[in-house]
Structures are given as C-alpha cells and as structure tokens.
A and B are shown apart, each in its own frame.
Chain A
Amino acid sequence: MRQVISVLVRNHPGVLSHVAGLFARRAYNIESIVAGVTERPDITRITLVVTGDEAILEQVNKQLRKLIDVIGVVDLKYSQSITRELILMTVYLPPEKRVELIQVANAFGATIVDISERTATLEFSGNERRINTLLMALEPFKIKEIARTGLIALPLESVVSDNREFLA
C-alpha cells in the first residue's frame, strides 16, 4: 500500500531530522518527503509518501504522532485530497524537433522555461498520473535531467467536510 501523509510540526531546525530519523530507525519505506512552512511561520507541513502494509502504515501514523514536535497527522486518501508535484525536465532538442516539443508542452500545459542550442527545459506541475503521462510523451526526446519536488497535498475541503483544524 501507498499512503500520502500530511504532518504538521513545530518549525525548528531539528524537526526534519526527528521525522526523517524515525523512518530510518524503524525501517519504514519513504518515497518522498517535502517540508515547507504553512500559513503560520511557526508551523511546518511535511508531506510524506510512504509504502507498507496496513499494520506498518498504522505504526507510521502512531510513531509520527508520538514525536513531541508533531501537532497533527492526516492520512490523505487519494479520492479525498488534491496532490501536486512540480517537475523540471531538460530534454535534448535538435532544432528540427522544436515544433514537436512545443506541441507536446502545449498539450499538457507545461512551460518551456529555457532553450539552449541542444536542449530545452520544461516546467510542469500536476498529479502523478499527469506527470507520468507527460514523461511518456517526452520519451521520443532523450531526457537529460529531471528534478522533482516530491508530492505535496491538501485535503479536498469540498469532499471532506469534517477536515479537522489542527491549528485552531
């Protein structure tokens, strides 16, 4: 199983070590971890993508809650949350293929942010499915480099009416 977990923590220099260390110490599998400050500067949101069976995911959740700095933990179910990831991709681009690339970019709503003699760099944000589709569409162009931010997510308020307010 794969689970997106949103964790609100007190914002101080050691907090990411505490969270990341937990995953190392208890041998949990972590696919991505993204941290960023929230609407309150003293609170950071960490979005984790973890894999494991049900028992492991339950332990991950409980062990996270046990950390002194953790204010709240939410399991974000796919159908009840909005997930996004930002990706930057540099592809090799012979001049004769420029039009083709622009077409692909337009079809996906990706932005071309840089073009050099031999390459182009695209920026795209979307959910994982859209990112994977874009990567497939770009396969004819050889990919030189990729940078991905990892997943961030929020509950869909329109679907989950009882989203708890941690910061209240």
Chain B
Amino acid sequence: MSSAAWKKGAEVIIEILKEEGVEVLFGFPGGAVIPLYDALYQNPIRHILTRHEQGAVHAADGYARATGKVGVCIATSGPGATNLVTGLANAYMDSVPLVALTGQVPTSMIGNDSFQEADIYGISIPITKYNYLVKDVNDLPRVIKEAFFLARTGRPGPILIDLPRDIQDGKLKYKPIKEVHIPSYHPTVKGHPKQIEHMVRALKEAERPVVYAGGGVIASRAEEELTAFVRTAQVPVTTTLMGKGCFPEDDPLSLGMLGMHGTRYANYAVYHSDLILAVGARFDDRVAGDVKQFAPQAKIVHVDIDPAEIGKRINVAIPIVGDVKSVLGQALGKIKKMEHKAWLEQIDRWKQEFPLRYKANGKLKPQYVLECINRIKDPQAVVCTDVGQHQMWAAQYITVRKPRTFISSGGLGTMGFGFPAAVGAQIGCPEKTVFLVSGDGSFQMNIQELATARSYNVPVKICIFNNGYLGMVRQWQELFWGKRYSQTRFEFNPDFVKVAEGYEIPGRTVHSPEEVLPALEQALSVKGPFLIDFHVEPEENVFPMVPAGKGICEILEEC
C-alpha cells in the first residue's frame, strides 16, 4: 500500500499552507480561484476578505513585517493578479517574505487572450524573488514547498505562484514532501572567518567607527547580537528607515535615522567616521546621496546576505557575505570592551547642537502630533506609515525600541501601503496597539479597506495628517521648482470623519494642538478602529533635508 492518496490540487495547496504554519490568508476571490476557495470552504484557514487585491497584498506584507512570518495572499487571474503588482514590487524592494497565489485561466486556454487572462508570470519576473507557473498538477507539492522556502530563506522576498484553474481542480497522488532541495540555491549564512577577522582588526584600529544598520538586521533577527556588539565595542548606531527598531532609539549610542531626512548628527557622524560597519543595508540613494561624499575618510565593511549588494553602489574594503545574525555572532566572540570616548563626546556635542526641531507657533504642527503619539504609545505598539512627508516625520519623531514595530514602505515608496499594512500588522499582532500614520493623499489610495477594518473589527488607530497637499512633492516644488505647485494641491478632500462614519468607524477631526492628546486618548479608549483627521499646517516642510544626489552633509534646514 502506498501512503499517497488521490487529492485535488486545491486541497493539496491548502494542506501545505497549513503545514507551513499559515494562520491567515488575505485575498479576494474570482472565477479562476473558485476551486481554491472551495477547498478553503471545506478546510478553513482564517481568510481576510479585503476590498481590493492591492489591499490584500499590502496586508499580507504588513502581517509579514509585524510577525516575521511569511505573508500569504490570493487573487484571481487577469485584473486580480495585476492588482498585486504594486504590492509585489513593494515587498521585493523591502525584502519581505510573501507568497502570492494567483488564479490563471485553464492551461488549454493560456495564450488565447481568454477572459481575465494576463501573463502574470511574465509580468512578475522582475518584481519577485522567484515565480512559478504550474503546468502539471504533480508539480504542485514541490512548488508550494519551494515557494515558502525561498520566501523566508536567504534574502527574503515575494514569490508568486500562478495556478491555472485546471491545476487547482486536477487530481494528483499526494505524498507530503519533507525536505526542499533546490540545487542552484545556496545562500551563504556564515561569514568567512578571515573576513570577520579583518573586520575586527579594522574595528580595533578605528577611532571614529559608526554602525550603519538596515532592514537586514531585522530580517535576520539580529537585534540582540547587534546590541551586544555595539555596546561592547561602544560604536554609535544609525539606522535606515527599514532598520528602525533593530537598535533601541532611546539608547545613548543611537543616532536615529541617517540619509535624506536623517538627523544631522547621524549624517555628520557618518561623514566624519573612519570606519563604517554597514550591516544588512544597501547604500540606497535616499540614504547615501552622493556616494563619493558619503564617508570619504572611512574604511567600509559591508555585511550582507546578498552578494550582489556588495559593491553595487559603493566600493567596499571588507566585504562579508553572510547572515547578519551569524556574522555579528561570530564577531562578538572576538571583541572585548572598547572605548571611543572622544568620538562619542563629539557626537554628543552634535546631538546638543543640532537636535531635530521645528517651529511651534500655536498652530497644529505635524511634528507635534507625532510627538504626542510617541508619548502616548507603549513601547510594544506598532506604527505603520504611508509614504510622504508624514512618513519622514514619523521616522524622525517616533522613538522605536523594538524590531517589527515600525512598518513603512522604504524602497518602492508606495502610497496606499500604510492602511492595509496596518490592518495586516494588527491581524498578526492582536495584542498590540497599531497606529497608522498616513496622509490625506496616501490614505485615499486604499481608503476602501475601511470596510475590511470594520468588518473584522481591526482596531487600527488611523491618524491622517491632512494638509490638503501631496506634501512631499509640494515641498520639492517649493524648494527646487520655484514654488510652482503643479497638481499637488487637492482642491477637494472628503470629510474623512464622515467617510469613516459611513463605514461605521468612529472618528474626530482635530484642528488645534490642545485637541491632540484628548483625541488620541479617545482613540485608544475605543475597542475597535478609530480615525483622527489631523488638519495640520499645510505648508510645513520636512527638515533636515539633503537634496537628492548631494553629499550627506549638504543639509537644508528651515530658514
């Protein structure tokens, strides 16, 4: 007797999802995924029905970022699948583990321009870590297992599996697969001992070292190793937007975020350093600006699990390919307590001299609202942001202490990401408070997910920074395009509180600084979702600012 049993493709998919520990799916049905949804009907996994496929993929993304698990979303063929494109590209840029299941027309119909047919396999090649079009039902078990393995190992990323309807409906003799083996895929985890020795020696020789930490630290769960490493070596830490939370930002060694809207002292420290330890970061143009002026006197050590990141943007003296957790763990055993007294004193002087600041003038300043959120939130709370000015203010004014508690679209800069991501994060972390920091522009890009939040009573605290502008573009137009505000002013905005009311979500509008804390307290006292529409100073700018392509010390400030 063989242990294999005849099963439908769709049943096997659901079975393997369960085996992979999938607890929740985010999706939207359609003709080409009816067999999959039928299997789900008979063998349920919690499913969150969003109101748009883009909402589903961003929610799966937010879930993955908040929990560290693989996010899973489902969409039908054609428009369902193409609606995932932005979300996949977003997850790919930020190395978020996702598995996207898309329906496809039956294999016999592929290529006929059939109803709701789109070549999502071809479309998604450049925006996924890997993708599949399953043409033989017997390949299903291997493909699904491989997809999860690829999504979560090495440099994580989204995987798309295109599932023709007849494959979901077809039968196979199913024998569970225990182990995944992809002969051409072997991520390097352990750092080369020689290179680690070089790094340690460089650290011992350095007088002005800086750790520049990115999302890779969080992806590899290396926060403890990083903290132990920098406290032993007494090295200040600056993080990227994606790295926020990998090191407690209230620690004296923290410099906050660097880059275009980073703190002055972080940028100064990097510029004047003689050693940069880049861990799980990729010298993105929004961080490094002009790479020639990034850290001109420094020796650069670059630790990354993706060899292609090393040397991509900047020349590196000591490359170390490996998992950040493993590499820092290896290095920890080789270092003793160090001191960089003069350097840390210099940094403290910069911190005193150039703190983050804004002009309080009695009006409702967005920075003040964020300070209030920062004060009222507990350290475990998750802050999700959308994209634009509010995002950068949040990155500046929210003190993040734990990994996976600051969620933001970094690489792709996807407006509309924040709200569904917050819904996904809240579903992944029901015990935590989740704040959404959004703008009037971004929020309207996935506003339909209010229905999802209401439907599942997802208690996200929605904070809209409403300035009636596409603020970041307006800021660039103000500073670099002669104040020609071409198409960045919203002549009409809805009354967001009334919109929320329509979705049976309570809310209130805030116009003055005095109302901020009471409104936030009210939001927290409500068990379900709550929306606050903060009418902030319309033409406030994000400072400090390094203009695009400039050196990180060419900083603009409010005059």
Contact = CB atoms under 8 A, between A and B. Distances in A.
Nearest to A24: B126
Contact of A68 (B121, B129, B311): B129
Given A14-B121, A14-B133, A66-B306, A21 B126 contact: yes
A93 interface: no
Interface stretch (B79-87, B180-188, B240-248): B180-188
B303 interface: no
Nearest to A61: B308
Interface string A57-90: 0110011011011110000000000000000000
Contacts of B126: 21-22, 24-25
A60 to B, nearest CB: 10
B85 to A, nearest CB: 14
A2 interface: no
B125 A10 contact: no
Contacts of B133: 13-14
Interface string B166-195: 000000000000000011110000000000
B363 interface: no
Nearest 9 A-B pairs (CB), nearest first? Answer: A62-B308, A25-B126, A71-B184, A68-B130, A21-B125, A66-B308, A63-B308, A68-B185, A62-B307
Given A14-B133, A55-B311, A62-B307, A68 B182 contact: yes
23 contacts: A9-B184, A10-B184, A13-B133, A14-B121, A14-B125, A17-B125, A18-B125, A21-B126, A24-B126, A25-B126, A58-B311, A59-B308, A59-B312, A62-B311, A63-B308, A66-B308, A68-B129, A68-B130, A68-B150, A68-B185, A69-B184, A70-B184, A71-B183
A65 B129 contact: no
A71 B126 CA distance: 19
Interface residues of B, number: 20
Contacts of B129: 68
Contacts of A25: 126
Nearest to A68: B130
B122 interface: yes
A65 B308 contact: yes
Contacts, number: 43
A155 B554 CA distance: 50
Interface of A: 9-10, 13-14, 17-18, 21-22, 24-25, 55, 58-59, 62-63, 65-66, 68-71
A interface majority secondary structure: helix
Contacts of A69: 184
B367 to A, nearest CB: 38
A18 B131 CA distance: 10
Given A17-B122, A18-B125, A69-B184, 14 more contacts: A13-B133, A13-B135, A14-B133, A25-B126, A59-B312, A62-B310, A62-B311, A63-B308, A65-B307, A66-B306, A68-B130, A68-B184, A71-B183, A71-B184
A119 B267 CA distance: 70
Contacts of B150: 68
A13 B182 CA distance: 17
Nearest to B125: A21
Interface in B120-169: 121-122, 125-126, 129-131, 133, 135, 150
A44 to B, nearest CB: 12
Contacts of B184: 9-10, 68-71
A18 B129 CA distance: 11
A50 to B, nearest CB: 15
A25 B307 CA distance: 18
Nearest to B126: A25
A59 B311 CA distance: 8
Contacts of A55: 311
A10 B132 CA distance: 13
Interface string B308-331: 101110000000000000000000
A22 B130 CA distance: 12
B54 to A, nearest CB: 22
B32 to A, nearest CB: 19
A59 B282 CA distance: 14
Nearest to B311: A58
A21 B131 CA distance: 13
Contacts of A24: 126
A65 B135 CA distance: 26
Contacts of B122: 17
B88 to A, nearest CB: 14
B125 A66 contact: no
Contacts of B130: 68
